[in-house]
Each structure stands twice: as structure tokens, then as C-alpha cells.
Amino acid sequence: MRENASRKYFNGSRPPFGFQRVPVNDGGRTRYRLELEDGEAVSIQTVRRIFALALEGVGCKQIAMDLNTEGFRTSTNRRWGAVTVHKVLTNEAHKGTLLWGGCAGHLASHSGEEPVRADNTWVAIVDKETFDQVQKSLAPRVTHPRTVSSRYLLADSCSVDAAAP
């Protein structure tokens, strides 16, 4: 599978949302590459819309609710959920990059080998700048535990204001 990925072939069974698997003959063996779904498919427009909403600061849960309200479905014809939206937003395939073995928990990550990463492997749905901006907005905002917004140690700021005489 590492060799397959290094030669820019897609290893997965189900393509990322907005893509389709296309068989390629490689010396008598059938391998697969990813291509955008036919034409300006609804799924490609949906991916671009998800990224646009994320750039506006809309959260994954709200994006999923909006898509469900408007009748959009995932590639498996299910309702959207926050986790599914997050997977679309974090999948590097949408910016044209093939990544194999780079996810935490992937068997290849346990071997200690570097993941296979190939940029510009297929046509991107969103540009790299948009993808990178969304990744920055998704990064957890960590506040030091000793940072206290209240003058009382075990009170949150809302309850202090309400309790003030």
C-alpha cells in the first residue's frame, strides 16, 4: 500500500466526498486514481460551500444542520453530522494532496515510518490557502488553566455578575 501511495494511486475503497474512483491499468493490474465527480456535481458545490461556511466561522454542527435542512445528503445517502463535516474539512484530498499513513491510529503510523504525502495528485476542490485557513480556525484554542476571568476562584464570570449586589 505504501508503494501504491508513493506512485500516486488511491488506496481506499470509498473516495472522499466530491471525488470518484477511476480505474487505471498499471502493467496488467487495476489501480485507482481520484477524479472530481462528473461536471459541476452537487457534491463538489457542497464541499466548497462547507469550506466557505467554515471560513465565515460557522461551526461543524451548524453546517450539518443547514445541509440537512436544505435536503443535502452524504455520499452514502445519510444525513450530515458534525463529525462528517469535520472529516470533509480536514481531508487533504480536497486540496489535491494524497496522504497515506499520516493519521493518528493508522497502522502505518505505528511502524514509525514517515507518511506518504504527494501534493497536486489530483484536481483540488478547494485551493490550499482556503484549506489552510480552515485548519487554523479548527485548531483548538487552548487557554492556560490558571487564566481566570473571575475574581472568585470557583465561579464563572456569568454567575459572578448575576450574584453581585
- Higher pLDDT, residue 12 or 51: 51
Q: How many CB atoms lie within 10 A of CB 122?
A: 18
Q: Is the pLDDT of residue 24 over 80?
A: yes
Q: What's the confidence (pLDDT) of residue 82?
A: 94
- Higher pLDDT, residue 61 or 6: 61
Q: Is the pLDDT of residue 159 over 90?
A: no
Q: Judge whether 11 and 21 are in contact, CB under 8 Å.
A: no
Report percent pLDDT > 70 for the chain.
77
For residues 88 and 60, what is the distance between their CA atoms, to the nearest angstrom? 10
Identity of the amino acid at 139? A
Report percent pLDDT > 90 for the chain.
48
Set out the domains of the chain in order of their start, with CATH numbers: 2-163 (3.90.1750.20)
Pick the range with the lowest mean pLDDT from 20-34, 93-107, 128-142, 150-164. 150-164
User: Which stretches of 51-154 are assigned E, i.e. beta strand?
Assistant: 98-100, 116-118
Q: What's the confidence (pLDDT) of residue 148?
A: 56
Report which of 88, 46, 86 is spatially closest to residue 68, judged by C-alpha positions: 46
Buried (b) or exposed (e) across 76-113, using 16+ Cβ within 10 A?
eeeebbeebbbebbebbbbbbbbbbbeeeeeebeeeee
The DSSP string of 40-100 is S-HHHHHHHHHHHHHHTT--HHHHHHHHHHTT---TTS----HHHHHHHHH-GGGGT-EEE
- Higher pLDDT, residue 98 or 144: 98
Report the predicted TM-score, pTM, of the whole model to 2 decimal places. Answer: 0.77
